Amino acid sequence: MVAALALRSGGIASGATSRLKGVWNHLRGVQTLAETRGGLPNYYVLPSGDKIPSVALGCWRAREGEVGNAVKTALKAGYRHIDGAWAYENEAEVGAAIKESGIPREEIFITSKLWNSYHYPEDVAPILEDSLQKLGVDYIDLYLIHFPVAFKKERTPEGKPVADLELTENTYATWQAMEKLVDSGKVRNIGVSNFNIRRLTNLTSNPLKYQPAVNQVELSFGNPQPELLAWSKKNGILLEAYSPLGSTEQVKQTLQIPEVVAIANELGITPAQVLISWHVQRGTVVLPKSVTPSRVEQNFQIFKLPQDKFDALEKAAVSHPPKRVVDPSGAWGVNIYEDQ
Domain limits of the chain? 38-248+284-291
Higher pLDDT, 146 or 4: 146
Class of domain 38-248+284-291: alpha beta
Q: What are phi and psi of 294, to 5 degrees?
A: -65, -35
Bind-site residues: 146
Helix, strand, coil tally for the chain in percent (to 5): 45, 15, 40
Three-state DSSP class for 138?
coil
Q: Which of 44, 79, 88, 242 is catalytic?
A: 88
Mean pLDDT of 176-192: 98
Section 312-318 average pLDDT: 97
Phi, psi of 156 (to 5 degrees): -70, 165
Q: Say which residues have a Cβ less than 8 Å from residue 308's Cβ, sequence separation at least 6.
A: none
Does residue 88 carry a catalytic annotation? Answer: yes
The Cβ of residue 9 has, within 10 Å, a number of other Cβ atoms equal to: 19
Encode pLDDT of 222-261 as tens digits.
999 999 999 999 999 999 999 999 877 788 899 999 999 9
Query: Is 189:142 a contact under the CB 8 Å cutoff?
Result: yes
Alpha-carbon distance of 133 to 159, in angstroms, equals: 27
Segment 333-338 shows an average pLDDT of 96
Residue length, the chain? 340
**Considering the chain, what is the average pLDDT of its residues?**
91
- The full DSSP string for 8-57 is HTT-S-TT-GGGHHHHHHHHHHHTTS-SEETTEESEEE-TTS-EEESB-E
- Higher local confidence (pLDDT), 340 or 175: 175
pLDDT tens per residue, range 213-222: 999 999 999 9
Rounded Cα gap, residues 142 and 204, in angstroms: 18
What is the pLDDT at residue 28? 44
**DSSP symbol at 306:** P
Q: Look at residue 62 and tell me whether its pLDDT is greater than 50.
A: yes
Model pTM?
0.90
